Amino acid sequence: MRLFCIFEKTININLAMSLWIIWLIAAAVLLVIELLTGLVATLCVAVGCLFAFVAALVGFGMETQLAVMAVGVILSFIFLVPFVNRIRKGKKSTRTDYNSNMEALIGREGFLNHEIPADGGLGRLRIDGDDWQVRSHDGLPLAHGTKVRVTGYDSIILTVKPA
């Protein structure tokens, strides 16, 4: 019975001394997971573990360390998530002149592959390696090789006029 008490006390002392290592390892593992997945929640929990690491270094008990971790996680969700979202949004909006889909072609210039006939028929235009059907803006015929500018679109047919 006496041996069990000594053994229990030894384990308690070693556990208390190594809690800061456990918090540090947990934070490091969570930061690696954050780098691999990009989830902000993982980063917030890692910050909470770092808060608990500091509490363990100071010498607080396990209950206090858990409370400090919870406060750290909550604070990092409040302050870190908007900061990270602002950074992510800033990276995506560096090119404000970009339009999606067909609107991105308006204003682009190219040379006709096939002429646009006088009867209002369709010609062909190549832009960035893609071949498009085109119609003349004014209904006038345009010869093969004419430099044109895209002025609009109707479904998948571009409207062009001479550049």
Burial label, 14 (beta-carbon count in 10 A; 0-12, 13-18, 19+): exposed
Question: In which residue ranges of the chain is pLDDT below 50?
Answer: 1-8, 10-11, 93-95
pTM of the model: 0.48
- Neighbouring-strand partners of residue 152: 159
Give pLDDT, residue 3: 45
Give pLDDT, residue 68: 96
- For 154, list phi and psi in degrees, rounded to 5: -135, 110
- Would strands 157-162 and 130-136 be described as parallel, antiparallel, or unpaired? parallel
With CA atoms as reference, report the closest residue to 68 among 83, 54, 52, 84. Answer: 52
Q: How many CA atoms lie within 13 A of 54 on its CB side?
A: 10
Give pLDDT, residue 6: 47
User: What does the mean pLDDT of the chain come to?
Assistant: 84
Domains in the chain with CATH codes:
2-91 (no CATH), 105-162 (2.40.50.140)
Give pLDDT, residue 18: 79
User: In angstroms, rounded to a whole number, what is the distance separating the alpha carbons of residues 43 and 91?
Assistant: 19
With CA atoms as reference, report the closest residue to 145 among 118, 114, 105, 121. Answer: 114
Question: Please, are residues 67 and 31 in contact by the beta-carbon 8 Å criterion?
Answer: no
pLDDT digits (tens, 9 = 90+) for 132-156: 999 998 888 999 999 999 999 988 8
Q: What is the DSSP string of 35-72?
A: HHH--HHHHHHHHHHHHHHHHHHHT--HHHHHHHHHHH
Residue 150: its H or E element = strand 147-154
User: In angstroms, rounded to a whole number, what is the distance separating the alpha carbons of residues 150 and 153?
Assistant: 8
User: In angstroms, rounded to a whole number, what is the distance separating the alpha carbons of residues 150 and 132?
Assistant: 11
